[in-house]
């Protein structure tokens, strides 16, 4: 799955990688947790825009913000049918920008966290959905991250992983007028096209109050 991730890549590299003309102001992040603002890329008419939205999807019909805490991930196998995700899957798809994510593996009584990242530490796009909730003023925009089975590189740590999209799929994934559910579903598969590293890190990352570079250290 994906319950914590990093974004340490400088803005100019992100703008080049995701073909956006501008980025919102945000600091380098070593420990992004649910309810935090995350950087997403989405369609904006014929263009793309990068914006910050809250992680944990709050459906437009929700009565409470708190529902977002349970909507941090969406299973690729069922995302097109679930009431909370059906409409966003049809027309509010996005890229959730990251350059690493964390998984925990039980080792006896302990849980060992791992940082999973590309061997070149390049940023990547996790498949996401977003929504807008008008129960607050101003409205709250939020997102979820789609999960799938793990790939060969990460299977030993965990049996699920976020969907990492192939860059060639970005245009259709982001196009709200693209409604070919079968072809969309075909994008939601374990990523085997990147070279992945799986590195153990300190349990310092466990506490969301810890936000510094120590999170990615052994």
Partner DNA sequence: CCAGACGTTGTT
Partner DNA sequence: GTCTGG
Structure tokens at 79: 């995302």
**What minimum distance in Å lies between the beta carbon of 22 and DNA?**
27
Q: Which of residues 111-150 bind DNA (CB under 7 A)?
A: 111, 113, 147
Active site residue 141: no
Binding to DNA by CB under 7 A, coded x per residue (else -) over 161-200, reads ----------------------------------------
Residue 11, CB-side half-sphere exposure with 13 Å CA sphere: 9
By CB under 7 A, name the one of 3, 26, 28, 172 that touches DNA.
3
**Among residues 94, 103, 141, 143, which one is catalytic?**
103
Active site residue 103: yes
| Phi-psi group of 215: left, alpha or beta (phi > 0 → left; psi -120 to 50 → alpha; rest → beta) | alpha
135 contacts 214 by C-beta, under 8 angstroms: no
Half-sphere exposure in the Cβ direction for 21 (13 Å, CA) = 5
Is residue 159 close enough to count as binding DNA by CB under 7 A? yes
Tell whether residue 62 is a contact of DNA (CB under 7 A).
yes
Please report whether residue 4 would count as binding DNA according to CB under 7 A: yes
Q: Are strands 140-149 and 47-55 parallel, antiparallel or unpaired?
A: parallel
Catalytic residues, by residue number, are: 2, 103
């Amino acid at each position: 799955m994906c319950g914590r991730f990093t974004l340490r890549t400088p803005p100019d590299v992100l703008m080049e990688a995701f073909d956006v003309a501008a980025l919102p102001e945000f600091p380098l992040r070593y420990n992004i947790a649910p309810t935090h603002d995350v950087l997403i890329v989405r369609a904006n008419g014929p263009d793309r825009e990068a914006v910050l939205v809250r992680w944990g999807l709050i459906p437009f019909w929700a009565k409470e913000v708190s529902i977002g805490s349970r909507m941090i991930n969406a299973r690729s196998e069922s995302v097109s049918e679930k009431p909370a995700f059906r409409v966003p899957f049809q027309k509010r798809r996005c890229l959730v920008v990251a350059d690493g994510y964390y998984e925990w593996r039980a080792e006896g009584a302990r849980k060992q966290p791992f940082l999973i990242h590309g061997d070149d530490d390049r940023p990547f796009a996790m498949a996401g959905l977003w929504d807008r909730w008008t129960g607050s003023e101003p409205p709250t925009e939020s997102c979820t991250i789609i999960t799938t089975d793990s790939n060969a590189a990460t299977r030993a740590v965990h049996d699920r992983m976020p969907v990492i999209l192939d860059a060639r799929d970005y245009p259709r994934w982001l196009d709200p007028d693209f409604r070919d559910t079968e072809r969309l579903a075909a994008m939601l598969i374990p990523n085997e096209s990147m070279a992945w590293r799986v590195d153990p890190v300190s349990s310092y990352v466990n506490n969301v109050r810890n936000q510094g570079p120590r999170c990615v250290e052994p």
